[in-house]
Amino acid sequence: MQDPYLEMGQLFRRLAPDTIGTTMPVFPTIDQIIAATRRSQVQVRRQVDDQAAERAVAVHTEPLAASRHGELRLHCEDGPAIAFGDGYGIHVLHGTAVPEWVLAGPSVDLIRREPNVEVRRSAIERIGWDTYIRQAALSPVATCPDPGNPGAALSLYDDLADDRGFAGRVLLVVNGTPEPDGHRRRYGINVPAIFDDPVDAAGWTYGLDGRQYAQLARRT
Amino acid sequence: MHTMTMTVTLGGLAARTGLDILGHLEREMTIPVIDGPQAQGDLIVIPLDYVTGIAIAPNAHWREVPTTGIDVLRAAAAGNPHTLVAEPGTCRWTTGVRDQTGLALGALTADDVAYLVHPEHGGSGIAPGRCVIRRQRERSGRPGQDRRYQFIAD
For A158-198, the pLDDT digits (tens) are: 987 555 555 689 999 999 988 877 889 999 999 988 899 99
| 3-state SS, residue B15 | helix
Q: Give dist(CA B82, CA B40) in Å, integer.
A: 9
Each residue's pLDDT tens digit in chain B (154 positions)? 556 556 889 888 888 888 878 777 888 889 999 999 999 989 999 999 999 999 999 999 999 999 889 999 875 444 578 999 999 999 999 999 999 999 999 999 999 999 999 988 999 999 999 999 999 999 885 544 445 788 887 6
What contacts A100, CB < 8 A, 6 or more positions away?
Answer: A91
Q: Give dist(CA B139, CA A193) in Å, integer.
A: 9
Phi-psi region of A137 (alpha: psi -120 to 50; beta: other; left: phi over 0): left
Residue B24 confidence (pLDDT): 75
The structure's pTM equals: 0.84
- Who wins on pLDDT, A23 or B33? B33
E-assigned strand segments in B52-113:
54-56, 63-64, 70-73, 82-86, 91-94, 97-99, 104-110
Q: Is residue A91 within a helix (H) or strand (E), and if so which, with residue range?
A: strand A89-93
Question: Using the beta-carbon criterion (under 8 Å), do A208 and B22 form an inter-chain contact?
Answer: no
User: Of A180, A191, A217, which has the smallest distance from its Cβ to B37's Cβ?
Assistant: A217
Q: Give dist(CA B105, CA B73) in Å, integer.
A: 8
Residue A60 confidence (pLDDT): 46
For A87-126, the pLDDT digits (tens) are: 567 888 888 889 999 999 999 989 988 888 899 999 999 9
Residue-level length of chain B: 154
Query: How far apart, in Å, are the Cα atoms of A56 and each of A3, A5, A214, B127?
Result: 10, 6, 50, 46
Question: Using the beta-carbon criterion (under 8 Å), do B1 and A216 form an inter-chain contact?
Answer: no
**Amino acid symbol at A132:** Y
Chain A residues lying within 8 Å of B75, measured CB to CB: 35-36
